[in-house]
């Protein structure tokens, strides 16, 4: 790969932001990213990409509302109807074509403006076979959690430990929305949503925006003293039907990781990765995703978590940022939050939560219920 991240910008993440619009959030993140990269959007950036879903936004053809706050007037703007990591991969491909030296990628969440989050998600169910059942997306997640725990022998208590770990990690992340010192007992006793999924097992929604600036190899070396290189990437859109998905394994993550590892030359993920940011929309998903991307064998994630393997000081730190459970569920921007953490860690700019000697990191995403779609990105501080 010959593409690097040379600029990052973000807002704070909050449970509610009545004082600002999504445009103001995007503008704040964009200004910071361009300053970090040392670029002028109207002169230096050739292409702008936003990750947005019209259903989240409440607007049709959302990219009409993008150019103003990104400095992209009369410039190419593309909307990716997927998560932020897929938008970033698209941006990298734009650079690799040779048509653009610098590309900006944006994703955001204004979840607090939504009146019916579960209604929007349920609308994503297959309209012929599944939507007519009128089930909550959390019911679907509860079914999958039950099947996953039954097949792997990981436990609900271990899932609760994911929650406590990630919220504790978020205490050292100044932009996180939901940091907390919480006991396993508190998680276990929270109200049941869809057995065995409790309220604390679900990552809470948050508002925020993230902008990343990508550059070609030549331009990256001119712009940045610490470019972070994209070494391997992949995305998988598996099945849209609940009936045909694997309920115990994250097949999309397994397939995407194999392709990304091959591209990056990763042959031993347990030894070659210094930190991992995986999707933890639901607590059990962290364990499921770690097993799927080869960080451990199937059924071992919960035990390794209990042993401290995935703590910040462990052999494989996982979701040091706090993940979605601690930083907040930013919808399509959640995966860019994972990438942001990887970039800060590889630069050595992560403050109190810095992982010593971090050189190679992974960001993994899942687009959420009801999809079987996910992406994988491997980043390195070394060319």
Q: Rounded mean pLDDT of the chain? A: 95
Cα distance between residue 70 and residue 77, in whole Å = 10
305 shares its domain with 323: yes
More confident residue, 188 or 383: 188
- State both tokens at 354: 């810095």
Inside any domain, residue 353: yes
Q: Summarize the confidence of residues 349-377 as an average pLDDT.
A: 95
Q: Is the peptide bond before 230 cis (omega within 30 degrees of 0)?
A: no
- State both tokens at 75: 């410039």
Q: CB–CB of 212/37 below 8 Å?
A: no
CATH assignment of the domain containing 352: 3.40.47.10
Nearest-CA neighbor of 168 among 305, 12, 20? 305
- State both tokens at 361: 């990191």
93 shares its domain with 144: no
Question: Quick one: pLDDT band at residue 59, thresholds 50, 70, 90?
Answer: confident
Helices assigned H by DSSP within the chain: 22-37, 54-57, 67-70, 84-96, 117-122, 137-152, 156-170, 184-189, 217-223, 251-264, 269-272, 283-292, 301-306, 323-327, 334-347
- Domain boundary (162, 191, 223) is at 223
pLDDT at 1: 62
Inside any domain, residue 121: no
61 shares its domain with 171: no
- State both tokens at 185: 């007992």
**Ordered DSSP codes for 82-96:** S-HHHHHHHHHHHHH
248 shares its domain with 368: yes
pLDDT at 105: 98
Inside any domain, residue 179: yes
162 shares its domain with 281: yes
314 shares its domain with 198: yes
> The tokens 């364990």 sit on which residue?
287
Residue % of the chain over a pLDDT of 70: 100
Question: DSSP character for 306?
Answer: H
Q: Summarize the confidence of residues 276-281 as an average pLDDT.
A: 98
169 shares its domain with 100: no
pLDDT (tens digit per residue) in 230-273: 999 999 998 888 888 899 999 999 999 999 999 999 999 888 99
Q: Summarize the confidence of residues 26-30 as an average pLDDT.
A: 98
Structural domains counted in the chain: 2
- Domain boundary (223, 254, 278) is at 223
| pTM (two decimals) | 0.97
Q: Is it the case that residue 129 has pLDDT exceeding 90?
A: no
Q: Summarize the confidence of residues 372-382 as an average pLDDT.
A: 95
Inside any domain, residue 52: yes
- State both tokens at 350: 């992560």
Q: Summarize the confidence of residues 119-146 as an average pLDDT.
A: 90
312 shares its domain with 182: yes
- Domain boundary (223, 257, 287) is at 223
Cα distance between residue 52 and residue 77, in whole Å = 12
Cα distance between residue 337 and residue 348, in whole Å = 16
Inside any domain, residue 82: yes
185 shares its domain with 211: no
Q: Summarize the confidence of residues 136-151 as an average pLDDT.
A: 96
155 shares its domain with 295: yes
In the three-class reduction of DSSP (H, G, I as helix; E, B as strand; rest coil), residue 205 is classed as strand
25 shares its domain with 155: no
Q: Is it the case that residue 345 has pLDDT exceeding 80?
A: yes
Question: Quick one: pLDDT band at residue 328, thresholds 50, 70, 90?
Answer: very high
pLDDT at 135: 86
Q: Summarize the confidence of residues 352-372 as an average pLDDT.
A: 94
67 shares its domain with 172: no
Inside any domain, residue 127: no
Cα distance between residue 264 and residue 236, in whole Å = 17
Inside any domain, residue 55: yes
pLDDT at 132: 87
Q: Is the peptide bond before 196 cis (omega within 30 degrees of 0)?
A: yes
Enclosing domain of residue 44? 3-115+206-223
Inside any domain, residue 88: yes
């Amino acid at each position: 790969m010959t593409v690097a991240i040379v600029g990052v910008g973000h807002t704070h993440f909050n449970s509610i932001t009545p004082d600002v619009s999504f445009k103001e959030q995007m503008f704040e993140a964009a200004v910071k990213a361009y300053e970090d990269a040392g670029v002028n959007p109207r002169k230096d950036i050739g292409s702008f990409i936003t990750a947005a879903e019209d259903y989240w936004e409440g607007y049709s053809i959302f990219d009409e509302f993008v150019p103003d706050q990104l400095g992209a007037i009369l410039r190419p703007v593309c909307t990716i109807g997927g998560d932020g990591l897929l938008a970033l991969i698209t941006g990298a491909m734009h650079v690799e074509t040779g048509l653009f030296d610098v590309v900006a990628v944006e994703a955001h969440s204004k979840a607090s403006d939504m009146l019916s989050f579960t209604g929007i998600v349920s609308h994503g169910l297959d309209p012929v076979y599944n939507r007519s059942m009128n089930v909550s997306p959390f019911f679907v997640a509860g079914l999958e959690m039950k099947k996953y725990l039954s097949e792997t022998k990981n436990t609900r208590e271990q899932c609760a430990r994911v929650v406590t770990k990630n919220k504790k990690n978020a205490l050292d992340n100044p932009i996180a929305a939901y940091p907390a010192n919480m006991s396993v007992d508190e998680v276990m006793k929270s109200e049941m949503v869809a057995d065995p999924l409790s309220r604390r097992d679900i990552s809470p929604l948050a508002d925020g925006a993230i902008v990343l600036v990508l550059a070609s190899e030549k331009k990256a070396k001119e712009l940045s003293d610490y470019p972070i290189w994209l070494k391997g990437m992949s995305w998988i859109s598996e099945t849209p039907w609940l009936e045909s998905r694997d309920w115990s394994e994250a097949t999309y993550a397994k397939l995407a990781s194999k392709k990304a590892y091959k591209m990056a030359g990763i042959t031993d993920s347990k030894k070659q990765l210094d930190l991992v940011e995986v999707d933890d929309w639901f607590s059990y998903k962290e364990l499921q995703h770690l097993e799927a991307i080869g960080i451990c064998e199937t059924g071992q994630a919960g035990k390794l978590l209990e042993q401290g393997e995935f703590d910040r000081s462990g052999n494989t730190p996982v979701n040091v940022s706090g993940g979605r459970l601690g930083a907040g569920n930013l919808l399509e921007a959640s995966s860019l939050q994972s990438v942001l953490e990887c970039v800060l860690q590889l630069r050595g700019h992560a403050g109190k939560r810095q992982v010593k000697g971090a050189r190679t990191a992974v960001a993994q995403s899942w687009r959420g219920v009801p999809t079987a779609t996910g992406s994988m990105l491997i980043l390195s501080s070394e060319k």
